[in-house]
Structure 1
């Protein structure tokens, strides 16, 4: 993967949709949230044609703060998961990343919770929201269990507020890279639902 990777949300759609694009402009993934499901589900494809599915991300519970979102290959084998840290994450978002065996290997934390609060409260107001979307940009950091910073996801200053950038901060294995990308993708889908 060529970094920074852009995560761009489609602004007007029935179901939330996002595209991951490498720095050279190549599309690397297209994600679409399934609508009318009791348990949240996200399908991730190689591109918008939906010809090849990369994975499916499924919640293990119906509407729960601490639901676990499992990553499944096309033949339904789990290769990792992400779990929001319940009530503690109401102010400052914290997510636990697990490998295919359920062992925690990393954490995603919100770096500037105040930026998200202001962006959420004022971002939807006419005129004021345009300025807020440009000034207040939440960011999230993925760190390994030993404290090494792996990835940073940052909202890019924009008047429309639907673009994020993912920077790679340390070398990781290809499996960890895919798990981290899917975790960041699911995390931002969840955070956008929260506001």
Structure 2
């Protein structure tokens, strides 16, 4: 469903001649931001102002949708769903999505799957690996740190490990901040 939404905006941007013909699933948010910047700095002179506004909206929507797609692949349904809900609540440039039936259907499907409490396959595999590790090693002398760059993924991992550890380990959450400089 998300890929259908991505395709809609890719087709619009291709028709305007501002992106190439690669498969819609292969675009990254970063690549699209670069192309949007190039378009903003030097828009084709033959494109009327209203069309330029539509192109900017399509770029914004496409960047957001590609980010969602990347989150779905990397972090799973529940973290992606939570991220979208937060962005909708904050009023980011998600007006395009809330009016779209396909998007609403995708959100409903993500909500249903999230409410069932099923962990993502990656989190399930992580729990299996850790249970196996702690069965084979003395759990008192063994420590494991799991890094994740998305807070909702941390919550999902933590919940899954609490449910599957059987007392072998005590998962705890630590949220740090990166430093610059």
Q: Give the TM bin, normalised by the shorter chain.
A: under 0.3
Which protein has the bigger helix share?
2
Q: TM-score, normalised by structure 2?
A: 0.23
- What TM-score results when the alignment is normalised by the length of structure 1? 0.22
Largest Rg, 1 or 2: 2
